[in-house]
Structure 1
């Protein structure tokens, strides 16, 4: 059982998330604005926070920045919104958010994100105590890279893509790189010139890399038809 803080100005959303998470055996604290969230964060020390982006007093991204700058962002935070752009989601993950859920949130996506968030929080605590020095494995950087990729994929042509971290490094890296290049090919409608510019690779190197990874070079062009 985990202690989860839900921050959302919509009463219906708060009640729904409380019901789902409570049925899952979690202890749930509710806050309808940033002021209540600050108090709950200090009082309850949550294991995970579900934080709405658009709120009337202080928006979720601003509150996230506040927690980060004051050393209070030591728990996984999952952002939620029905109107946020990819840029907003990426900004939040760069600040320190673990993931982004788009409203309306399905039960399956919510429970999966919560499960991954709690697992990531446990991994971070374990690593910081007795596994490796932070300089050796920067878990925050790894989390940010994978989360930004997942945000982009959830909103783009690879919506079902996910990355499993319990694989050999080379295999996991190849999966990530393949998804990364497929995403950019789709965004640029298959234009190798623009993909090369976006990824910082020379065209010849890019072609070799895509061939090595088994990337379908016609996918982006087909999606534009």
Structure 2
């Protein structure tokens, strides 16, 4: 899951791109002009930006140059346009853009380009042997502690090819789904199945969180709560 900022003055394009990215599990923020993009860039520190070239206040190439001059280009920026010529696209990538998407943008092309951009920005994961330390301050309830421990089993990459309960021999999409199930089930239990808190913690809007949980086949009510009612 990545934090992605979509900057475009056309609301239909923003919504369409955001929907595709939401469905892939990304947290998406939208901006309709350069002013909003500047604020969102400083506030949420996105992992990747989709930036339209033609905007009413400041064009995308000028904003890209501004971020470069201020030392703020620490994330991949993918330029977008339905009108820009090849010379502008080449100029944008020459000065620092990661890639260029020509509108209309197909979902397949969008996801492929975004994945490539995120891959360039990927950081090395911490040693999984120390993964237990990640949730030391999470204070899970006593009833949930054994479940949390089982989710954070140290792993040797040459012993069984598993990260916790997720097999690393699975195809990427299956492995990602398996990890996301563990991830969301952990946060649901940790936050007492409060969708508001889980939404805030995971960075997904409630509508997209419900959709993601349904897609993964995860119940949104506590099993214990259901047992108590019977």
TM-score category (smaller protein):
0.5 to 0.7
Give 1:39 deviation, angstroms.
0.2
Pair 87,5 (structure 1): closer, same or farther in 2 beyond 3 Å: same
- Structure 1 unaligned residues grouped into runs of 5+: 127-225
Instruction: Tell me which residue corresponds to 1:90.
Output: 90
CA 1:125–1:62 in structure 2 vs 1: closer, same or farther (change >3 Å)?
farther
Change (3 A) 1:123 1:87: farther
Is 1:18 aligned to residue 45 of structure 2? no
Query: Are 1:30 and 2:30 matched, yes or no?
Result: yes
> Normalising to structure 2: TM-score of the pair?
0.53
1:80 equivalent to 2:90? Answer: no
Which whole-Å CA distance do the structure 1 matches of 2:125 and 2:119 have between them? 10
Please list, as runs of the form range in 1=range in 2, the aligned pairs for 1:1-225 lying within 5 A after superposition.
Answer: 1-122=1-122
How big is the alpha-carbon RMSD for the aligned residues of Structure 1 and Structure 2? Answer: 1.7
* TM-score, normalisation: structure 1: 0.54
SS of 2:16's partner is helix
Counterpart-to-counterpart distance in 1, 2:27 and 2:12: 18
Partner SS, residue 56 of structure 1: coil
| Larger relative helix fraction | 1
- The secondary structure found in structure 2 opposite 1:54 is coil
| Residue-by-residue CA offset, 1:127-179 (whole Å, 9 max, x unaligned) | xxxxxxxxxxxxxxxxxxxxxxxxxxxxxxxxxxxxxxxxxxxxxxxxxxxxx
Could you say which structure has the larger radius of gyration? 2
Count residues in correspondence: 126
Runs of 4+ in 1 over 2 A off after TM superposition: 123-126
Distance change >3 Å, CA 111–CA 41, structure 1 → 2: same
Q: For structure 2, list consecutive stretches of 5 or more residues without a partner in the other structure.
A: 127-230
